[in-house]
Chain A
Amino acid sequence: VQLLESGGGLVQPGGSLRLSCAASGFTFSSYTMSWVRQAPGKGLEWVSAISGSGNNNYYADSVKGRFTISRDNSKNTVFLQMNSLRAEDTALYYCSKDDEVDGGYNDDWGQGTLVTVSS
């Protein structure tokens, strides 16, 4: 299993960013994919998840209405569209594969992509 995140960077408050996670080494459409973040000096925080089919999306309250998760099973890629970004969204964002088609636990992780929200 390989998960490669990209798309992080520096963005101003109120701005937008789209993260991507390219997956390989498993049958992508058979598994839920998640995004988890770690703010500087803080613990891990689950952000969002999407079922294997893409029909079910899940969001933490802290990002609901601002972030949108999606996936392209033909390209083995999951996305996180982040709008109305705030300073508190600054974090290392990890992509992870879950162990079930809808739900489950995170059994494989990428190395993360850094998002910095600052003026």
Chain B
Amino acid sequence: DIQMTQSPSTLSASVGDRVTITCRASQNIRSWLTWYQHKPGKAPKLLIYKASTLEIGVPSRFSGSGSGTEFTLTISSLQPDDSATYYCQQYNHYWTFGQGTKVEIK
């Protein structure tokens, strides 16, 4: 089974800050990785697929990078609406989510 490890588990940042979340895969998943934003009481929202492709309608302050086993999600200028939990997910072999990163606004 492929394990996905996200870091940090929580982060607190100010509006306008640059925020980076890291996701590591236990084996090579090439670029088969997505990032989701999840807010309480709502369905998860797809942000990025294939490691770096921005989903239509997602603000350009979100970006993804990486391949193989190391991936990052970057929010270039944190906005109040970005308060949420972010998950990476591999879909190279079956599907596995990371444990999530809760982003809080200071």
* Chain A residues near B (Cβ < 8 Å): 34, 36, 43-46, 49, 58, 60-61, 94, 99, 103-112
Contact = CB atoms under 8 A, between A and B. Distances in A.
B38 A104 contact: no
Interface in B62-106: 85, 87, 89, 91, 94-100
Interface residues of B, number: 23
Contacts of B46: 105-108
Contact of B44 (A49, A58, A94): A94
Given A61-B1, A109-B44, A111-B43, A49 B49 contact: no
B44 A105 contact: no
Contact of B34 (A43, A105, A109, A112): A105
B43 A107 contact: no
24 contacts: A34-B95, A36-B44, A43-B98, A43-B100, A44-B36, A44-B97, A44-B100, A46-B96, A49-B94, A49-B95, A58-B95, A60-B94, A61-B1, A94-B43, A104-B91, A105-B32, A105-B34, A105-B49, A106-B36, A107-B46, A108-B46, A109-B43, A109-B44, A109-B45
